[in-house]
Structure 1
Amino acid sequence: MLNKIIITAAAVTVMAGCATMAPDYQRPDMPVKDSWSGAKTEISADKKASDIAWKDYFRSENMQKVIQTALDNNRDLRTAALNIEKARAAYRIQKADLIPSVNLTAEGARTAVPENASSSGSSVTSSSFSANVNTSYEIDFFGKVRSLNEAALRQYMATEEARTAAQMSLIAETANAYITYLSDAKLLQISKDTLKTRQDSYSLVKKGFDAGVRTELDLVQAVSAVEAAKASIQQYTRAVELDKNALTLLAGAEIDESLLKGDLDNVEFVKELPVGLPSDVLLNRPDVRQSEQNLMAYNANIGAARAAFFPSVSLTGYFGVASSELGNLFSSGSAFAWSFSPQINLPIFDAGRNKITLENANNNQKIAAAAYEKTIQTAFKEVMDGLSSKATYGKQFDAQKAQTAAAQRAYELSLLRYEKGVDSYLGVLDAQRSLFSAQQALISVRTADLSSRIALYKALGGGQK
């Protein structure tokens, strides 16, 4: 009899494992064009930017070391890794519901009945001992447990993708912070060089003023230029210190000062990034994959909500031994005991709770679908922005470089004309200001170009390796 019960329960378990009421998952159509509209770029079908390891893309050794420090110590990335372990544990807990639970229980009792309460008229002392193996299992006829298990699996996989996305963001943020530091350090150096130049001009004007050949206006204008340069030095000194603080936070540890010694002009990246079709590039991004995994989890939750309308069947039972003496519990004198209790629970009236739960599950799935489409659109915009920037920053840098060279020559000529007495000091002052502005703009364009290339690498899925 017991063997028949076990075989029947096993057969029911196998049959139940095949059922699910979750709707078939269909990936939403991509709400973007199938080409990079307006971007003049060659499509690579074989190579992907995501296949380029970050150490191969960022070729500056000092930058590589700073990024590696961040990957080793950043607390946000560490939290993302711990969230994976948390999600894995939740999935394993949910998965355990697919398997019958088995427990071992042991009991012992000793009871004394006094004479006036005993049916025999004499006091009675009795003992009972038992040891049982208990099992319980909910038969998943309509796929409720399996749907919940699928949802937990998808949430776990979404957390994995979130960690990869966090790594990519950390690499890009650290690289940008390092670029910003080098930019401000270069601006600080230019400010110091400008101060020296203006101090030399001031000395020249002061000599002329003392000799009575230069006006007081020339003198105060030279003083104003010197003080403006000093203000710029303080501005960029502060910016450099703030940049160091930002890098330290991202790195999660103090950064070796030797790694901060570099020149913005010597920063090297991979010159060309392979760009594939939008369907290949976007679906390979971890943030898009994360959003899709969340969508699949909500899709599975619909199956669990549908299954709640149908009966649930549970099996409980135990098998063990019992004896009046502890020493004979496992001997031939003990008695075998067993129980098998199937139970069916059919929802009749729940004040609309199951209906509302299903409606909520459907709405959550629609919200997740909209979020997935928004993630696709955002990713498409980021790639387009990167491609557009790539096409223009190079030419802008060349033009700004030519302007800076022209401003340098204009300053030299204006200074020469002033020394010869042909022109006033106002021309020199204007030329100095124009040169300083041009130099600042050149550094800003270089910084923006490097930042846009970092953003494009990230937008194309780079940084996963």
Structure 2
Amino acid sequence: MTKTLITLAVTALLAGCSLAPTYERPAAPVTPAWPQGDAYQPTAASTADGKQAYDVQWREFIADEQLEKLVELALANNRDLRVSILNIEAARAQYGVQRADRVPGLNASVGQTAQRVPDNLSATGDGYITRQYTAGLGIPAFELDFFGRVKNLSEAALQQYLGTEEARRSQQISLVAEVANAWLTLAADQERLRLAQDTLKSQQISYELSKRRFEAGATSGLDMYEAQTSVETARSDVAVYTAQVAADQNALALLAGAPVPAELLPQGTLQPVTQLADLPAGLPSDVLQRRPDVLVAERTLQANNANIGVARAAFFPSISLTASAGAMSSDLSNLFKAGADTWSFMPQLNLPIFAGGRNQANLDLAKANRDIAVAQYEKAIQSAFREVSDALAQRGTLDERVASQAALVEASGKSYRIHEQRYQKGAESYLNALVSQRTLYAAQQTYISARLAKASNQVTLYKVLGGGWQ
């Protein structure tokens, strides 16, 4: 062990080396291809113009002008994003502090020292005052970084700063996705509210017809009460979705960080508002390593790797230099005259001999933190792979789901119209028409949910692929 330390010390003195391990990016712990199977669509290499999904900037991704303006409002006012930006400023300042330690400082000083000698200590028996004036330039204790301690501290601070940059980018991508999803949810709930209102109007007409027939003695009260249950159900749904639309608008205002102008809200119809390029070709690891949250994990790993170099440097001597040069005189008028110059030079060597195991414990801690960061980086890759795989599975089945639900709405509508006509002609009771109406209403609600899921899936893919953010 002693011979190894001596060898490293000599090498460091000659080369001014860093004792941090050479950084190597860990292998991505995911399969070498995107998932395949019945739930997944074949992946394309790129779009017609050669852009891949993660290269699409948010302004290209958002196809609706109203939503684009709303995203701009959120990017300017959202408080979570503002905190991320301020965190970058703090990390940049911390990096500046660490980087400043790599160059010697220079201080200027001007001073006076005055002292009164008492009568009983004076050779003449009379007290007197002595004065001393100084002026000069000085270099405070500056560490000669033979073993890379200061360099690695600066490197760790740099990686932390870059990590906050990536965190802000991740926050911005998430904000774009959240605003888009909230906007789509509001549009879907507006459509559900309108469907409930239309259903209420329709059922009120049927109820009035049943009521007149009952009052005329043409039918029993059963048809009237069954029609009334449909009316009250629709009335309840109108109240529920009215409140939900208001809650959706409040959610948008929170994301935007400011009141949302009415002209930027959806107009009651759920429609496609985004456009996403095809899934990028290449290995999952190549794509996922572009995600900002994965890059944050890697920056943390690199910072912990540099901290190992800091801990290793504690085993070796450290040399600091303090120097000053200037002038000194007992008379201010003679301070800058010939013969008043003075200087001092104070090199200091600190050699660690015994620290009770502190240095070794710090090195073990640095290595453990590095290993933890490796595991966190690998987990970030695995989580990202899972998120993309889930989104791709949804993407591969949503078209069939939407088409099936549209066909169900059409078939349910035809069934309801037939039973409604038969009821109005007196050919059957209102029960069959009521069952058909409820089936149609449920199918229409589910159809809205399926279309919302398809639109939201586009947003999710944009986010989990680390979509463009500028």
Normalising to structure 2: TM-score of the pair? 0.93
SS in 2 for 1:242: helix
- For 1:280, the aligned partner's letter is D
Q: Paired residue for 1:443?
A: 448
Where in structure 2 are the equivalents of 1:224-243 lying within 5 Å?
224-243=229-248
Aligned with residue 316 of structure 2, among 306, 310, 317: 310
Letter in 2 for 1:300: A
Q: Deviations over 1:145-203 (max 9, x none)?
A: 11111000000000000000000000000100001101111000000000001001001
| Distance (whole Å) between structure 1 residues aligned to residue 59 and residue 128 of structure 2 | 84
SS at match of 2:26: coil
Q: Output the CA distance in 2 between the equivalents of 1:452 and 1:289.
A: 24
- Any gaps of 5 or more consecutive residues in structure 2? 1-11
The answer to whether 1:130 aligns with 2:134 is yes
Residue type of the partner of 1:374?
K
Equivalent-residue separation in structure 2 for 1:185 and 1:265 (angstroms): 8
Q: Which residue among 276, 280, 291 is the counterpart of 1:285?
A: 291
Normalising to structure 1: TM-score of the pair?
0.94
Work out the CA distance in 1 between the residues paired with 2:65 and 2:129.
85
Q: CA, structure 1 residues 85+182, in 2 after alignment: closer, same or farther (shift >3 Å)?
A: same
Contact 2:135/2:327 (8 A) holds in 1: yes
Q: Taking structure 1 as reference, are residues 405 and 133 closer, same or farther at Cα in structure 2, changes over 3 Å only?
A: same
Q: Can you give the 5+ residue segments of structure 1 that lack an aligned partner in the other structure?
A: 1-13
The within-5 A match list for 1:37-436 is: 37-38=35-36, 39-44=40-45, 47-135=51-139, 136-270=141-275, 272-277=277-282, 278-332=284-338, 334-436=339-441
1:361-408 CA distance string (max 9 Å, x none): 111111111110111011111111121111110111001000001111
| 8 Å contact from structure 1 (residues 286, 461) kept in 2 | yes
Deviations, residues 7-59 of structure 1 (Å, cap 9, x unaligned): xxxxxxx9788321000101000000111021433342653222212121111
* CA 127–59 in structure 1, closer or farther in 2 if over 3 Å, else same: same
1:84–1:16 Cα change, 3 Å: farther
What are the Cα deviations for residues 121-156 of structure 1, in whole angstroms up to 9, with x where unaligned? Answer: 454432210112111311111111111110000000
| C-alpha contact (below 8 Å) 1:179/1:264 kept by paired residues | no
134-143 or 264-273: bigger deviation: 264-273
Following TM superposition, by how much is the alpha carbon of 1:261 offset from its aligned partner in structure 2, in angstroms?
3.7
Secondary structure of the residue aligned to 2:161 is helix
Match of residue 26 from structure 2: 28
Is residue 399–residue 454 contact of structure 2 (8 Å, CA) maintained in 1?
Answer: yes
Matched length: 451
What is the RMSD computed on CA atoms of the aligned residues?
Answer: 1.6
1:350–1:463 CA distance, 2 compared to 1 (3 A): same
Return the alpha-carbon distance in structure 2 between the equivalents of residues 114 and 375 of structure 1.
74
Q: Is the 8 A contact 1:50 1:464 kept in 2?
A: no
C-alpha contact 1:273 1:457 (8 A) present in aligned 2 = no
Partner of 1:4: none
Distance (whole Å) between structure 1 residues aligned to residue 321 and residue 177 of structure 2 = 54
Aligned counterpart, 1:19 = 17
